[in-house]
Amino acid sequence: MNVTTTDRMKNVSAPGPLRAVVQPVPRSESDFKSQISNFKPAISNSKFQISNLKFNFLPLCLCASAAIFLTSCGYHAGGMATQLPPGLKVIAVPALKNDTTRYRVEQRMTEAVVHEFIARTKYRIVQNEESADAVLHGEITSFEAAPAVFDTTPAASSTSVTTARATAMLVSVHLKVLLEESGTKRVLYKNDNYLFREPYEISTTDSSKFFDEQGPALERMSRDFASRLVSDILENF
């Protein structure tokens, strides 16, 4: 059967609305490598900035730590030291010389130094200088106790007269220390400028407790001095 042109036109339906189809453009492997390589300089710059921040922040931390440490110390020390001899086994610690009028302050200091050496080192501590490999000489050059805090509250019995009463005292002690080898008299450690300060409160009603409160303050100061001295000798400060 022959199909005419008219029949063919009847069988073809009317075309629908046209749609734009976007096909993804294929990218080669080199394009992806190029994009990834572009991110590397940005990452490197970020790492460089972070490292610079850490480098600049470190000195600030060290300075702050040093400032806190120095302001918290109640002593001043600036001695000289050499390496302790390897054969050093016995250290003589005679009683410290007391050049002040404060009674028995040298005994507190000496006992604290002996206790600190025994507790922290393996050296044998004696009092006789002749049987020792090294001798530790100490001298208390000054002792001062001065008012640090005053109370200006008027007394209950008098409203017109105001007097200042000390409520806290500050004890200051200067010391000299010399550690020398027995046979050669070689100086192993020397410090002529030890300064220790210790505050303590006093009673405003009972003046007899003045020295009672000063005793514990001297005990604390003696322990601080002994601890600092042994550390300086062992660490060659």
**pLDDT tens by residue, 106-128:** 999 999 999 999 999 999 999 99
Which residues have CB under 8 Å from 40's CB, separation 6+? none
Position 112 scores a pLDDT of 97
Residues listed for the chain: 237
More confident residue, 155 or 27: 155
Which pLDDT score is estimated for 85?
Answer: 87
Averaged pLDDT, 90-101: 96
User: Average pLDDT for residues 8-33, to the nearest whole number?
Assistant: 48
Identify the CA nearest to 202 among candidates 188, 215, 189.
Answer: 215
pLDDT higher than threshold 50 for residue 11: no
Please give the single-letter amino acid code of residue 237: F
**DSSP conformation class of 94:** P
* Category of 16 on φ-ψ map: left (φ > 0), alpha (ψ -120 to 50) or beta: beta
The CATH fold assigned to 73-151+167-234 is Double Stranded RNA Binding Domain (3.30.160)
| Region 195-206 average pLDDT | 80
Average pLDDT, the chain: 73
Q: Predicted confidence band at 204 (pLDDT cuts at 50, 70, 90)?
A: low
Is pLDDT at 47 greater than 60 in this prediction? Answer: no
Pick the more confident residue, 207 or 98: 98
Residue, of 179 and 6, whose pLDDT is higher = 179
21-45 residue pLDDT tens: 444 444 555 554 555 455 455 445 5
DSSP strand pairing (134-151 vs 165-181): antiparallel
Looking at residue 195, what DSSP letter applies?
Answer: E
Domain residue limits, the chain? 33-71, 73-151+167-234
